[in-house]
Amino acid sequence: MTRIAIFASGSGSNAERITTYFADKESVSVEMFLSNNPIAGIIERGRRLGIPTVLFDKKTFSKTNKIVNLLQNQQIDLVILAGFLWLIPENLVRAFPNKIINIHPALLPKYGGKGMWGHFVHEAVVEAGEIESGITIHFVNENYDEGKVIFQAKCEVDSTDTPDEVARKVQALEHVHFPEVIEKIIANM
């Protein structure tokens, strides 16, 4: 059994997709959601899906071992970042080497780094006149959006697309591919 923990700071639509994808698969279990944001959509999703959801503050996350201890006590094998916005501290990266996976809503190395998240990414893509965007699923290290790339998928950006339209195309790719890529990673663990 592979036990997953999902971190999310916002709506949590990817967290929900991953949870429902694995719900009827006996070898994988989404054990918990974790969030820094008490008003994030992920909280309500956790309640509805029956997934225990843990809230934490910046100091607990960045300056203590509490989250690492919690994940280890829950025997978590794989950590998924699904729209989680804080930098992952070194103690967490070290405790889960190549076992923390992030999704980024652009084709890294373009449009990555601190402050590049959610709509800021899609605004930058439109502003630059890009003709394509997409998703990147990658391992997490101590720097924003720099770990080894596992998977990318592309979508077209039309010259008339607004950032919201690009966001919709990118999110559609995320919902299709993220659970399947996680399943493949687990198969190779």
Contacts with ligand GAR by CB under 6 A lie at 8, 10-14, 82-83, 103-105, 117-118, 121, 171, 174
Active-site choice (104, 122, 138, 175): 104
Q: How far is the CB of 116 from ligand GAR (least distance, A)?
A: 6
Instruction: Output 28 or 42, the one with its CB closest to ligand GAR.
Output: 42
Q: How far is the CB of 93 from ligand GAR (least distance, A)?
A: 16
In 3D space, the residue among 115, 166, 120, 171 whose CA is nearest the CA of residue 144 turns out to be: 115
Cα gap 78→116, rounded to integer Å: 24
Q: How far is the CB of 79 from ligand GAR (least distance, A)?
A: 14
- 104 as an active site residue: the answer is yes
Instruction: Output 69 or 164, the one with its CB closest to ligand GAR.
Output: 164
Instruction: Output 77 or 174, the one with its CB closest to ligand GAR.
Output: 174
C-beta of residue 13 within 8 angstroms of C-beta of residue 33: no
Is it true that the peptide bond before 163 is cis, omega within 30 degrees of 0?
Answer: no
Q: Which residues are identified as catalytic?
A: 104
